[in-house]
Amino acid sequence: MSAAPSAPDAPAEDTSAPGRAQPFTPPAFLFGGDWSPEQWDRETWREDVALMQRAKVNTVSLGIFSWACLEPAEGVYETGWLDEVLELLTAAGIGFFLATPTASPPPWFTLAHPEAMPVREDGVRLTHGSRDTYAISAPAYREASRRMARMLAERYGEHPGLRGWHLHNEYGTLDHGPAAADSFRLWLQRRYGSLEALNTAWSTAFWSQRYGDWEEITPPRATQYLHNPAQLIDFRRYSSDEMLAALVEQREEIRAAGSTAPMTTNFMLPTWNHLEQWSWADQLDVVSLDHYLDTTGPDAEAHVAYGSDLARSWSGGPWVLMEQNAWGIALGDRSVLKSPERMIRHSLGYIARGSQSSLFFQWRASRGGAEQWHSALVPHAGGSSRRFAAICELGDVLERIAPAVAPPAEGPLVEAEVGILWHADGWWALETPHLPHDGIRYAEELRATHRSFWRAGIPVDFVRPGADAARYRMLVVPCQYPLSDAQVRWLTEYAEAGGHLVITYLTGISDPSLQVAGGGYPGRLRQLLGVRVEELHPLLAGEEVTLDDGSVVAEWTELVEATDAQVLASYTHGELRGRPAITLAERGAGRAVYLSARLRQDSRDAFLLAQARRCGIGPTLPGAAEQGLEVVRRRGDGADHVFLLHHGAEALTVRGSGTELISGQDGADGVRIDPGGVAVLAVEPGAPLALVGR
């Protein structure tokens, strides 16, 4: 059974802010990580708990991959070991997230229910031997998952140490097997109502794909050449809805057993995008995120901010960092070490932007198994190590900044005047093959846009299509290729009501079924933008061209006619010489800017900063970002907590009347932050700050 699909013309239309009933407010920042006692003997359990106390760990995540230990044979539950573990934790005052272990069905399950294993696109049915081997829509899997959730909830649902339910782990296995085919068809029937409507939406007249019976439709399995793009994107939408339905079932079992603990599941960035996060967030009490960095350079700090701003936006307030890597940054074929200082700075970076936790994968480095070389809070070297000493230092810092955990009684946790539209449809659409340029990736575009604001020290939120965007003076829409009628109306109303809209190439090209709107691009937005694009001109790999405002462009250009807009910048080369590249249309009380060229990062930075300035939007602390000082004002209960994260090379001093929580220094005297250092200044709400030099 999958969740009700969104109507074809209105994917993820928002009518309400995603705000939770209660913002997730633990008594202190949650500190710890995934703990797998099932991998260790009892002596190590006791040593672990003693080390946790030493480091001031207050939370572990349990049970994530414990199915085989909790249910060693069908219907036979063994929970004695978990009872013992919880007793040890409780005696030490350590709380826990309890996972439903459904991400990793054990071997007996595979053998008993082969039809519940996922089938790849190429028809290969997977077997056990790794993890995440489940066919999400297989009745046997769903049934076993519900039973497991119920059993755990009945046994532990009211445990005083339970901080929340960690449902499953990183939902994301796509299945192309018979069970998926059945539920995909049902989803399509609900979405389209009739085969005729589906045939029209999917353009099945092309390549003789017309369907005469629902049974003829399959998931997009391996085929001779290109798939139908409408089928591909609908399958992604269906898979997200189907996994969400499985989560909701588990949640309902747990609630029915009487447990009132908060529910979450861990989303995963930067690479995975199997979920439509806004609709998922609606079903959770708090959003949690696993965040793994993919670069060692300064962009790692921008990436921390990107993941955090996404999670806070999806959650509509505080969120939980469920996993990060303590020491490693995965780079292709190796894991490069992160310094202790950087580990602490990153941990505070997540908290600055709304995380209520600093949780890691994982507590103790495994001796065996596929992730034995993944870093951990307790390394293979054990508790007597430089690494573990740094973990203890982080525990101290988190304890000192505990006052910052309480969210404000009203208003956002981080105040942003810039919104960036995010929707999984844009990602999925750009993943369909055979576009004019298959190398333009949604996630890269969104990250590049976010990076520009991060570099300028300007706070941003991500925004759900259809949300109330009135509080954003500027709304940026990068590469949202499909748009529904309702979304076009929403954007138009935003501009007319006085908003400053910035829309990039590859937005509004198609309807939700990926049918191109004719008459010139971007067909869905021509009127709003006052432009008509006759031709798309992707550039050659490595080719760069310029605009007459000095911007440098790579990868993408367009032949634009400004039909009802003023030209802000024009192309200076070849066929496009003198043609508009960036335009601005006055609309009602606001404006709609169109960017037809893919600006190189430095030019994108300059362009977006100029747009922000035009709206009167400035950085949190002028002059700081340029010197590598990231400044985030996290609003709290009766105070603002100003996080100062120094990624630059020269010591800096910031003054603000209040107390620096880590050192206890008086902020009025100026707080000096050394390169690589962090400080958290508690000031009166809205109190001014000054950068007073080195």
Active site members: 170, 323
**Nearer to ligand GAL among residue 66 and residue 169 (C-beta):** 169
DSSP H/E element including 229? helix 229-256
**Nearer to ligand GAL among residue 211 and residue 292 (C-beta):** 292
**C-alpha span between 427 and 440 (Å, rounded):** 10
| Residue closest to ligand GAL when measured from CB atoms | 361
- Measured from the CB of residue 350, what is the shortest distance to ligand GAL in angstroms? 16
Place of tokens 């925004």: 463
**Nearer to ligand GAL among residue 374 and residue 614 (C-beta):** 374
**Nearer to ligand GAL among residue 288 and residue 513 (C-beta):** 288
- Measured from the CB of residue 268, what is the shortest distance to ligand GAL in angstroms? 6
- Measured from the CB of residue 97, what is the shortest distance to ligand GAL in angstroms? 12
Dihedral sign computed on CA atoms, order 612, 616, 617, 622: positive
Closest residue by Cα to residue 524 from 542, 509, 513: 509
- Measured from the CB of residue 269, what is the shortest distance to ligand GAL in angstroms? 10
SS3 string of 410-472? CCCCCCCCEEEECCHHHHHHHHCCCCCCCCCCHHHHHHHHHHHHHHHCCCEEEECCCCCCCCC
DSSP H/E element including 246? helix 229-256
**Nearer to ligand GAL among residue 104 and residue 259 (C-beta):** 104
How far from 642 is each of 237, 267, 297, 613, 673, CA to CA, in Å? 39, 27, 24, 23, 13
- Measured from the CB of residue 330, what is the shortest distance to ligand GAL in angstroms? 7
Omega within 30 of 0 (cis) for the link into 362: yes
Residues in a beta bridge with 330: 335
Q: Token digits for 407?
A: 């969210």
DSSP H/E element including 42? helix 42-55
**Nearer to ligand GAL among residue 371 and residue 602 (C-beta):** 371
Residues in a beta bridge with 582: 569, 595
Q: Which one-letter amino acid corresponds to residue 640?
A: D
Residues of the shown chain interacting with ligand GAL in the complex, contacts defined by CB under 6 A: 169-170, 268, 290, 292, 323, 361, 371, 374
**C-alpha span between 252 and 145 (Å, rounded):** 12
**Nearer to ligand GAL among residue 48 and residue 290 (C-beta):** 290
**Nearer to ligand GAL among residue 29 and residue 171 (C-beta):** 171
- Measured from the CB of residue 169, what is the shortest distance to ligand GAL in angstroms? 5
What is the DSSP code string of 505-571? SSSSSB-TT-PBP-SSBSTTTHHHHTEEEEEEEEPPTT-EEEBTTS-EEESEEEEEEESSSEEEEEB
- Measured from the CB of residue 375, what is the shortest distance to ligand GAL in angstroms? 9
Closest residue by Cα to residue 338 from 398, 391, 283: 391
Residues in a beta bridge with 355: 319
Closest residue by Cα to residue 433 from 233, 268, 586, 622: 233
**Nearer to ligand GAL among residue 37 and residue 478 (C-beta):** 37
Residue 460 phi/psi, 5-degree rounding, is: -135, 160
SS3 of 607, please? Answer: helix
DSSP H/E element including 358? strand 357-360
| 283 touches 248 (CB < 8 A) | yes
- Measured from the CB of residue 371, what is the shortest distance to ligand GAL in angstroms? 6
Q: Token digits for 436?
A: 């004019």
Q: Token digits for 545?
A: 């061209």
| 163 touches 264 (CB < 8 A) | no
- Measured from the CB of residue 272, what is the shortest distance to ligand GAL in angstroms? 8
